[in-house]
Amino acid sequence: MTQDMLHVIEWHNGEKHFSPFSDAEMTRRQSEARAWMAANDVDAALFTSYHCINYYSGWLYCAFGRKYGMVLTQDESTTISAGIDGGQAWRRSFGRNVTYTDWRRDNFYRALRQLTAGVQRLAIEFDTVSLDFRRMLDAALPGVEMVDIGAAAMWMRTVKSAEEQALIRKGARIASLAAAGAAALIREGLPEFEVASAATDLMNREIAASFPHVDLMDSWTWFQSGVNTDGAHNPVTNRRVRRGDILSLNCFPMIFGYYTALGRTLFYGHVDDASLGIWEKNVAVQKRGVELVRPGAKCNEIASELNEMYRGWGLLKHRSYGYGHSFGVLSHYYGREAGIELREDVQTELRPGMVISMEPMVMLPQGMAGAGGYREHDILIVTESGAEKITDFPSGPEHNIIRA
């Protein structure tokens, strides 16, 4: 029935789109992966995650239940997209692109077989390939040995080039702009989602104005009030702002798949003495954390020193999560660079070019004096001699008590 229907095609429609990264930058990334492949006797690599395909090709896909991939050999790089995407993958990819159609359920694997003919040793991302996907890969590529490239690719991504740093700086600027605009809108009775929507609109407009051509996708805002501040990743709700509320404003501009973030604690109208004391202590921890980020510092040692500050105030038991993490190609659904986390069990030594957040948080439950979640979030670029804080939005009670 489908014999006259195409299964794998080159659907190159339009011209290549603007990229914030030069050809030299994209070649550098692919060359680093190829060097790893050569050193590990790997014939080809199949990237399937959002973050690796975006990092090595410049294209961020929308899965919606379909498979996507990028095959890297010593000679070529080719993204594998679905027909539903039209020519968008071709326009965004640094390198070749092939498209598979929906007419047979194995067409993704048909495309993969064409691109890996003769391959005996294939690298895949163990950390994102599900058991079912692995079974399908084994069936599609019988006799091919599969090894992991996920961990190696993560470490390649952790040190940001000058071009990556420039893009992240733009994101930090846009996050601050959106936060300022959103904070100016806060008033009693306004629902959380109205503030969040306004901040996200501001980010999208500024991103659109900052590049000749850009895909506007995934930027978001978490604005929480009252009890909803107890979780940093709690969703936006229709709760209305009340006088005396603790507030948490978090803006996340997503630009070409790169994540930046800004987070601030605010209060509406007034802040009681107990809350003020906790807020000031959390700001002090955040400022000390910024001072500790430098080349040669170990993630676990930074965490340990900041723990002592909380311990001295009896607040250590109210900590919510690690003190910070790596930035780059990531979002809330892809790309965590878990090797750089400011946690007690991560001994990674910071290096120049790494980009990391400093975002301490404590949460006191309802019924306690000062109840709520307190969080301050900045971004730092590790330099040769220290770290540069690229977040310029003010923090603390001197700046972030919103007048009623």
**Which pLDDT score, from 0 to 100, does residue 338 have?**
94
In the predicted structure, residue 218 carries a pLDDT above the cut 60: yes
The amino acid occupying position 140 is A
* Length reported for the chain: 404
Q: Which segments of 211-319 does DSSP mark as H helices, in order?
A: 273-292, 299-313
In the predicted structure, residue 206 carries a pLDDT above the cut 80: yes
**What confidence tier does 5 reach under pLDDT thresholds 50, 70, 90?**
confident
In the predicted structure, residue 3 carries a pLDDT above the cut 70: no
Angstrom distance (rounded) from CA 354 to CA 157? 9
- The alpha carbon dihedral of 239, 244, 248, 251 has a sign of positive
**Which pLDDT score, from 0 to 100, does residue 9 have?**
87
Assess contact for 248 and 367: CB atoms under 8 A: no
What backbone phi and psi angles, to 5 degrees, belong to 355?
A: -120, 125
Q: Which of 95, 92, 96, 113 is nearest to 104 (CA)?
A: 113
Please write the tens of the pLDDT for every residue from 252-306.
999 999 999 999 999 999 999 999 999 999 999 999 999 999 999 999 999 999 9
Ordered domains of the chain (ranges, CATH): 8-157 (3.40.350.10), 162-402 (3.90.230.10)
**What confidence tier does 8 reach under pLDDT thresholds 50, 70, 90?**
confident
Catalytic residue flag (residue 377): no
Angstrom distance (rounded) from CA 55 to CA 49? 10
Q: Which of 255, 168, 164 is nearest to 216 (CA)?
A: 255
Q: Which of 7, 51, 213, 233 is catalytic?
A: 233
Share of the chain above pLDDT 70, in %: 99
DSSP 343: S
